[in-house]
Chains A and B, each alone.
Chain A
Amino acid sequence: MSDQNPTPETQPIEPGGSEQDGPKRLLRSRDRMLAGVAGGIGNYFSIDANIVRIAFALSIMFGGLGVVAYVALALFVPEEGDQPGEIKPPVIQRSRALGIAAGVAAALFVLSWGLADFDPWPFDRGGWFFGGPLLFLLLAVGAYLVVRGTGRGRDLGWLGAVLFGLAVFVGLGIAFAVAFWAGATGHGVIVASLLIGIGVMLVIAAFNGGARWLIAPALVLAVPLAFVAATDVSFGDGVGERQYRPATIDAIPDDRTYELGIGHLVVDLRNIDWQSGDVVALDVDLGMGQAAVAVPEDLCVVTNISASMGAINAAGDHAAGFDTSHQINHGADATPRLELDGEVQIGEFRLINDDDADIDDPHPWDDDDLTESDARAALEEACVADPADGEAEEDGADTQRERAGNARRDRERR
């Protein structure tokens, strides 16, 4: 795609227009990290180019307009030529193809504005730029640097290198997503077989000059498959938003299980009229996402919650990282009682023990009415046994445990 320069690439300096003699012109510098814009501005204002580079980097924190300005300057500002006094016309003027490519890139840039809702804290206060545009630009810069590193950037030109690199990134990203999807839908054997096939091709190719380019697709298959293998994420249990608000214990599914593959799982048990003697053993299983269980403040809850990768926020207790677990009130026999067996592979498991807290509030324990210590104390207090209730509940509890055990065994067998 060498479409450079159907028009003359350089133009002579007009009399009196040299850098030394005439008025100063803003030119992209040959001393460059990316497109020579910072170097050119540094030359123009006689300041160190690194100061300008730092200013551009800082501009990202203020909505990212500096990055847009950088791209615009890279496209529209002429460039220093190879010889002293020569000036190359702006990139946008060099060929129609480059102009079209720049237009497409600009359109993608604007489109990416609305396509991605990418608001990682604390950058959501940084302005519109911390959405798709930042993601797109980081990808573009990364693609350019990668392609330039392979030595192809010189042939393609910087814009071509960016577009080529983006195409490669998108292709690998799609392969990554497909491998993840296949693994999570029970087709991991196929992906693993493909992986072995690529390995065999690499070995054979090693004796015939090598095929290092196959390493990238191998990693693109191996990493998501490993992720699925490590976390047991399954799309088979469903994807999306699930909200369950049973009004009675009987409305809870017979197998006493709520599960979801990926998404947001809400189980709100606060509408149930819990009676003394009630004991429910409940399983809440989530592959990836967030699971939230809400219980009345005075309900005794015995927890056995685990997270392979992520966080557990249970009634004021926090645990985060790999293979985390939360167990409280084990051995309690107070009633009514919920024996909660929660599991999330990747994401967050949340237990809220408050009658009024909003289950969708990400920080319910920040409220003055429900501090973390209050929540923890309430959970422990609710499980202080009332001796009068001790005997009445035994039969019901055994039955519930037996049913939950049977259901779990059935699932494991399946």
Chain B
Amino acid sequence: MTDDRGKCDEVRRNFLRGIGLSAAATVVQPAWGGQTLGDAFAGFFQKHYQQMSPEEVEAALERIERKAKARYGVDITCKDTPPLEGVVFGYAINISRCKGYRDCVHACVKENNLGRDSQVEYIRVLEMDQGTSNLEHSDHYYDPETVPQEGKYYLPIQCMQCDDPPCVKACPVEATWTERDGIVVVDYDWCIGCRYCMTACPYWARHFNWTDPEIPAEEINPDTHYLGNRPRERGVVEKCHFCIQRTRNGQQPACQEACPTGARIFGNLLDPDSEIRYVLANKQVFRLKEELGTEPKFWYFSD
């Protein structure tokens, strides 16, 4: 008896405490999508990345870090590491080594803080029939017991980081451009979400946040770059950026690192001794839709 009464009292105390806490919380809780009013205001007036002064960039990076803390409860760092001198990135995939595991797809999702529910995946692996290179005979959703399947080969496709990108031409507000190291980047704080760039891309490489990306807090990658894997919001376009937060620090992109067969070869096109240059000089490489004149920096070969 006494125990029950004690329990009732405890329940009532907890309930009242809960109400009090939530009342207090609504007052101090940041609104505006997980940021304070001041940050929301400053964000509204934030300039285009290429027109911000170093102090303004610093303030923007800090806003991103604060917003991530408020939204996910995680401490992240956001940098804007500039391009390395004398570097233009290139990528090659050995399609006789790709077995269609999709390890690259999921490593990318984790590395780049992609929404787990918004179904944005920068890499899509196509299962192709042997004997044809017609993409319309491909299967994007293959799910057999084991891969590789008999009579099939696999073609991973992601942003080709074109040298003459139609998406950069299309954007009405210059929210996407090519950096000096060849990476085509997006200023997620500038994009208005018109999706004209997605229309223009011949490789279906650009993706839209139809809703706010949901990332489990414990899986967030805290090492972020302003033009790369910093947490994004709904309503903006994003795409593969050659893991700019890693590659500008000399690391391999996450997809290359994840591939267990070593099918992916990444490096500096301006270094004549690099593996990518060796591939281009010694293997029979091809690029997708080369006739469109986009000059992709992503090659395929087999041996």
Co-complex (A, B): no
Q: Which residues of B contact A (CB under 8 A)?
A: none
Q: Which residues of A contact B (CB under 8 A)?
A: none
